[in-house]
Amino acid sequence: MTLNPRAAWFASWIALTALTGCESALTGNEGNFQFSYEADDRVNDFNKPLAVGASLDLEVRDVGARQPVTLSAADFAEAGVLEVSTFADQNITITGVGEGTALLEVEGTTANGQTLTDSVNLQSRIPEVLELRHTCSDGAEAAYLTNARAYVPFELEMSNGQPVIGYGYYPLDDVTGVTVNRSDSNQTHIALDAGGTSATVTLSSTIDDTTLDVVLVSEAEIDGITEPIAWVIEDIDVGDTNPFYVLPTAMGRTICQANVTKTVVSSTPEICTIRERDPVPGSGDGTFEFGWFDVTGVAAGTCEYVVTYPGGDGGAGVSATFTFPIEP
């Protein structure tokens, strides 16, 4: 089966989203405990370097039933590289404080009452490359709403392409118009709090020459609507329900993460019905997008529907009509 051409890039995006929520895991040096953390890069490689200045949450389980361990001690054998920020129950938060490698040593009690020790080697590095992109556009520029929180996907790497992991270290210059939320514990997206003034803001890396343009616009500046993208394998048959995705635009720019009032109404209810739907669940880009709705085929014919952003055009509203075929 082939994918509807209009959904080609959407399929790649969904595939990337599906890769999130995985974990990297490794059995400790003594073979008693398993150490793991949530990962989105090279999941099979546990010992990716933690960025100096970043934190990482580890979980400790026994290697047999993989039940959580109750930790009674956790510390690094070496000083000045990695530190244990906190530990409780089976969870440990570590922070990179300098470049190098260090041995994390732990003691804990398993679910069956055994008190055991184990250790794992970890490393910390100063990243050399920052990658930034938008959640709704492949271009170097996209729009976001004023007075809202936006999430910008990012990657940290060494110059040889090795991923560098962790949260809380976001190497961006301070800039007027948006505030980087450096307390956010997100390993895949940088949280930005947008100000209330429409403007073009350039995010600039402090470790390389990477930049990303963020155009801040108000809901009232919405003046158009993107062509909806259908997540459809070949076609929509009678009785099928398929998700669609649409976003508003302003001055020719797609507005990412537009969490504003939107209506979608079928003009041909005898052919198709429409219902709103939540963003795609998970930890990928779909979590942050709000342009989703479902189309259900009722009878064969041309499904016609109207998308409206009531707050657009200074409050007068912006609407557009779209169609999609429903097959028998």
- Count CB neighbours of 31 within 10 A: 10
- Give residue 13's pLDDT: 46
- Give residue 17's pLDDT: 45
Residue 18 phi/psi, 5° resolution? Answer: -65, -20
- Give residue 287's pLDDT: 73
What pLDDT digit, counting tens, does each position of 251-282 carry?
999 999 999 999 999 999 999 999 999 876 65
> Stretch 296-325: mean pLDDT, rounded?
98
Instruction: pLDDT band for 128, please (50, 70, 90 cuts).
Output: very high
User: For residue 88, is pLDDT > 60?
Assistant: yes
Across the chain, what does the average pLDDT equal? 92
CA dihedral (164, 167, 169, 172) in degrees, to 10, reads 90
- Give residue 6's pLDDT: 38
Instruction: Identify any residues that bridge with 105 across adjacent strands, giving them in sequence order.
Output: 75, 119
What pLDDT digit, counting tens, does each position of 205-220 carry?
999 999 999 999 999 9
Q: What is the DSSP string of 82-144?
A: EEEEEEETTEEEEEE-SSEEEEEEEEEE-TTS-EEEEEEEEEEE---EEEE--SS-SSSEEEE
Residue with the larger pLDDT of the pair 79 and 281? 79
- Give residue 11's pLDDT: 46
> Stretch 38-43: mean pLDDT, rounded?
93
